[in-house]
Each structure stands twice: as structure tokens, then as C-alpha cells.
Structure 1
Amino acid sequence: MTNSAPQLQAYSIQFCGMFNFSPIQREMLKKQPMYQKAVITDQRVRSIISRQYYSAFRPFILNDCPDKEYMELISVASVAFRSCTFADYKQNGQAMPSPVFNVQKVSITFYNEQFRTGIYSFEIRIVDAQGAEVPLNVDELSRLVKFAREFDSKIIAGGQTMSISEFIEKKMLVLNSNGDFISISEQQGSVYYNGSKLKTWITADLANFPAGYEPDHALFELGTSAPYLSASTAGDFRPSQLYFDSIIGDKISVFDNWSALCLHDSFILLASNYLLQGEIVWRDTYLKIYKFNLYCKFYLFKVNSQVTTKGKLSVTRTELARFLNLYNMEMISYNFLPNLIFANIKEALGIHGESIALMEKIENSSKIFREESDRLLNILLAIIAFTSLVSVMGDFSALVAKLYGNPNPSMDAQQSNTWIALLVLLALIIFVTGRYFLRKRKL
């Protein structure tokens, strides 16, 4: 423990990840006693949200979409799994006593049924033997997050030892009493979305800073899971000033009492005497904005990375158009702050660039298709020209036969030649048009 590190007055650590689901699995999870549909019933809160967000985005905050379009489930109890610890808790190769923590606020979010991708999330809170929350400092929080976000890290829950990924599958994505669950293993493609780490959402309220240690240093270290003091003191892990400035330069800084930073796999809010009153807004609204963009990013990434060298898409153009109509938004709110946070997250996740890359691939594949169609059309015209030539040659051969003493060539021979020419022509036309429509279907 590093006692000199700034103490946190309030904090929240949320971990997020992607998973694939089927409609049947969604319905089975919906019936699990652990979960209930997340619905905002307070009419005053609903009224405030309705006045702040555009109608296209409002249902994603209020969970008012049709279930097949969007549905969020939350754990019924405030604490889903009590008194968990980590096995072999290590930092920098050194074994350390594992903190005791509760897992709470488990959330399962299903996006459009047609796309079959969802997001799970959960929060952890450090507690003592009596279950009371234990305060953390920046050093402890940074070390905890770095270890806990690894899928291979071992967790001990209810006397069972399992990896983080197994814990998510068998405790959060379990489907029935038989123990069936939704897999997030590499074979199911979810690691393909997530990599080897969970995404993190951290909100932290700090009281004070030691001399030489600034809020931007803490923002950088917590956002990148860098060791404490690595951004402010000399050492092997100290970032170059150019890199540090490039990261911190993208932070959201509107008011003096908080700053936020979104990176590719983390979002960190660092505040001062703010979260005790304002944390619920970030958890219940802005976290949903983060998840929404996280889903959009990895849906586009999935489609983009699965475009074949011949331009074949893993989804139809109709499905892609439907996704863009539902989720491709530039503005979500009448107010500037939600729009600013939304735009910053989109920029950090590279959603615009992913969209452009996908559109370019589709355009290039369409260009290739048009070129191949032109080539096939030219072949077809050449075949027609060839058969015309054959017909002319047949007429010419009949004329030659008449000139050389055979004024009545065999009718059977003429019919035979005609049928052969027609069959050859039909076969060539079927071959060319078949290739054309097969190629078109693949696009």
C-alpha cells in the first residue's frame, strides 16, 4: 500500500465486455430470478430525461425500446456476489494480499436481435470483513483495475476458483438450473471483440494531491492502468511528454470540479467533491452512452474485419442499412454536455473511421463487381457474335455446296448443325449468367 497516494472520497469501477447471443438465450436470461428488466419508474426522472434527449436516443436511456431492438436487465439484489477475492493477486510479479470485494450492479444489455451482440457489465466494491466499504487511494485503484480486467486472472467466489471469463459465464450469463451458459470463449468469437481485457468505466472523486502530482497525472494513470507516479516521476514507465500530451489533450474538461478521459478500452472520470451528488447521473445515463458506442464500434469492427478479399459481407446490405438507421447518430441530446460526451467517446473508439473503412470496402467490392459484370457482358456479346458467325458460315457452306453440284444438302445435316449451335449457345449463356448472379448474391 502507498499511503502518500491521494485518497478517493468516492469511486465506482465498472467492467464491460461483449458477447454473442441467440433469441432463445436472451429469453432464458430474461427469466432468470437474478435479473429484472431495468426500467426507470420515477416520473420526475423520466420527464427530465425526455426533455434532455432526442426521441431517437431516449428509449436507450429509459429502456423503452421493443425487447427485440434493445433490452437491459439488471441484477435484483444490490450485491450479486459477496466476499470475493483474487487468487494469486500479484503486482509487478510480487504476490500481495487480495482485497475482498463485492460484485454488484450486474447488467446484461441486449441490442438488436438481428445483430445478436450484447454487453455485460458489473461493478466491484472493496469491503472489509463486516461488509463495510473500504476507501482506496489512486495507487490501490490502479493496481486493482490492472489485475481485475484480465480475463485470465483468477477469482474466488463462493469457495470456487475460476478465471474472470469463467466467472462471467457461470455466474452472470448462466441460462438455467442445469448450468448452461452463454460462452464468451475465443471459439464463440467474443474474445475476437474484447481482446484479452475487459473494458473499464471508472469514476473517482479525489480529495487532494501531494506536491508534484497533478490531476492529469492521476487521469492518465487510471485511464491507462499505468503504475502510480509513473506519469510524474522518472522511471522505465514514464511516458514521453509528447505521448502524455496526446492522451491528456483529448480529455473532456468543462467544469473545474471534474475531467474525463475516454481511451480505446477505458473511460475515466476524475472529480473533486462532486461524485457524492453527481455519480448517479454518470452511472444511469452517461454509462449507457458509453455502452451504446462500445456496441456500435464492435459491430462495425466485426462486419469490417469479416469482409472477404472478394468483397463478401458477413451481413446483407439490408441488415447493414438497418443497423445504420438505428444506431448511427451524430446528436443525441438537446443539451451540449451529453452531445460532447457522446462525440468524445465516438472519436476515442474510432467509430467514424471504422464506418469509413467499411464503406470504402463496400464501394471497392461494388466497383470490382461492376468491372466483372462488364467483363462477363463482353463475353456474352462475344458468344452472340460467335454464334452469328457460325450461322453465317453455315449459310456460306450451303452456298458453296450449291455452287459445286450439291444443290440440296441433307436436311438432317442442317438441322443437326443448327441444334448443336443452339445447345452450345445455351450452355455458354447459362454459364456466363450463372456466374453473374452467383457473384451478385455473394455481395
Structure 2
Amino acid sequence: MSFKDLKLNRPILRAIAEAGYDNPTLVQEKAIPLVLNKKDIIVSAQTGTGKTAAFALPILQLLFDKQDAPKKGKKIKALIISPTRELAIQIEENFKTYSIHTNLRTTVVYGGASIEPQKDILKKGVDILIATPGRLLDLHKQDIINLDYIETFVLDEADLMLDMGFIDDVKKIERLCSKEKQVLLFSATIPYKVEQLANTILNNPERVEVTTNSSTSKNINQLLYYVPKPNKIELCLHLLRNTIKGSILIFRRTKFGVEKLEQTLLKNGYKADSIHGDKSQNLRQEALNNFKTNQINILIATDVAARGIDIDKLDAVINFDLPNIPETYVHRIGRTARAGHSGIAHSFCSADEKNYVQSIQQLIQIQIDVIDDHPYPLDPKTKPIVHKSKKIGSKHKKGRKSEASKKKKKRWY
């Protein structure tokens, strides 16, 4: 199937061709006709399957005939809600790429950045708005945003949205939009919470399931290293020196862990940067751009900061800390081997993370290859050393006499 078969118009087809895409992905083939038919949809698809274009292209097509309103008179007709700033920025880039030969205007608003420039653009009038929930509600409160004319409402990464505690905001935003809108819900997995949300805001939705809820790409070589926790940094340096080359994304569970690893890699002469929640939006964006333009080849991130980041030709992912939620593992390793490329995922497992491996393997239905041949093995036979205090106090409770003093004392019996 080609994009022409999806009944997209010439300006959009031209932009797709210029972006270097020939044929639609499976999720695009299935979702685009449904969106063009004004159906509500629930799409379950992993990142890397082309799902942004699956809603961006039909939205541009549906709005194409209404594009020539005077700028000031433009009303927001499509609203895309995204859980993270990085993902919101990326969605905007996609819309701008595909709408280059149209007069449709797109903008993005998110927290962590100055609100004034965002207000200025909105006052000039836009057709398509991409937003994170908090900033959108702020702007609505200030009467900068009017959601009465929304025709298409998109929830992207719905599962992450709920994990991050945005469910009330999402419901509030949905109620602020016009009643007669089309709702498109995209989620990597469809857990019960997402199902519940879908039941409250969608109207007779069609379902599009592109992959099983947990599938991992066939092009990813998954490797597992059992290693004592204190030796993870040494193992990481050992692999970077000898095995892992190219552009590498490293996941750690905490912001502190990300910072610590970044300092170690910089001291060892590696070109590394990091993204996590405590960094300003500008610094996060700068790190991401430096990584995409190969000025650095190692990016260290927490899960929330890295969700939805689209990096072409990522060579390897390192799970420095294993995630306690198995679905997160699927998201992480799905950053590599995108769009037909192959990649490698290396995971470090310390003694206290063995249960995580079990639940990950149950979810992905794959036995991950264990690499024993490395300098820092975790020997399951050795018992953990329990450090006992060397200080030996009296065996007796305070106030009781010692054995020696008892012996000296003559008893009357």
C-alpha cells in the first residue's frame, strides 16, 4: 500500500515524499482511514511504529479545506495532549514537516518554559495545538485558549499520562472541548486504567492493535549481565571501552543516579550528557539536540524524561538499573531498532533486581541471553556478607553484674 491509497491530498503527499517516506507503516494503514471517516479510535502501538503520523496526516487532511481563515480568525480545531515536553516538541516537529505545503498553523505549549512567547503565538491564531496538560489548563484559566471549536482531540501515550497522575487534568480538558469532537487515544499498552478512561471519553471507538501489548522488536539483540551493584559502573566502562560503540542511550532509575554516572563518564573522557526532571527545558533540549547531531554519543536519562524521544539509528540501549515495571523495559529497548534498523539492548542486573528479570521475561515471552563472560560476575553461590559490629558489649542487661563479679561473691547458699 502507498500513501496515495490512503486518499491523502497532494500537498500532504508531497511533504511525506520530501521527508523520505515511501509506504505507510501498519499503524498508519489501519488508523488513517478510520480517522478520515471521523471515527473515535483506540490505538495500541509501541513507540517507533509511526503512530504520530497516524494521527497527524489525517488531521491535516481533515483541516485542509478550512486552512484559509485569516490568521487572527483561526480557531484551535485540533488538540493533541502529550505527557512530556520532549514528546510534545517532537509531535510539533512532525506536524510542521507534514504541513509545509499548507497554510495550517501549529504550535506547542508546555511548562518549564516562559509562558509569554506561547501566549503571543496563540493570540495570533493557530489551527493545531500540542500541549502538556498543566500548561494547557494554565493558559485556559487566563482565557488565552478557547477549546470550543475542537474537532479532533488526541491523547498520546495515554498509559504514561495516567502513570504520571494526569487523569483528572485529562478529564477536565476533555470536558472543556466541544461535545461534537472526534477522540483519538494512543497508548503503548492498554491497561485497565486506560480502558476505563477510554470508556468515559470515547464514543463507540474502533480498535487498532498493531502489536501485542508487550512485543519487542525482532531486530533487537537483548543481552543480560548479572553484576554486583557496586560494580555496575566498572562494567559499564568496560563495555564502552571494548564492546558497545556508536550512539548509546543509558537508563537509570533516579535523577541522582543519572548525574553520578554522567560525572563518571565525563571524567573518563566520554562525550556524554543527560536529561532528567530537575534540568530546565532548555538544557534538556540542548542535550537532546547534541545527541541527535552526534556532538555527544552517550545520553543518560530517567524514564519519564526519555519517553517518546525519537532518535534515528540509535545503536544501543543500556539498562543500567532494571525497571520495576516490565512494560517500561519494552519502552526503553524500543528506542533502538526503529524503522527497520537493528540494535542491541544491554541490561545490568544486581542481586536485588532478579525478580524484575523474571517479570520482564514473562511479559515479552523471551528468555534474554545471559552474558557470563565479563570481569564482574555476580556469583549466586556466595552468600551476602552480613557485617556484624566488632564492638562486644556486656552480655548482661544494664545494671546486672558481670560473670567475674558474681564468681567473687560468696553466696549464702
Which category describes the TM-score, using the shorter chain as reference length? under 0.3
**TM-score w.r.t. structure 2 length?**
0.27
Give the strand-richer structure, 1 or 2: 1
Give the helix-richer structure, 1 or 2: 1
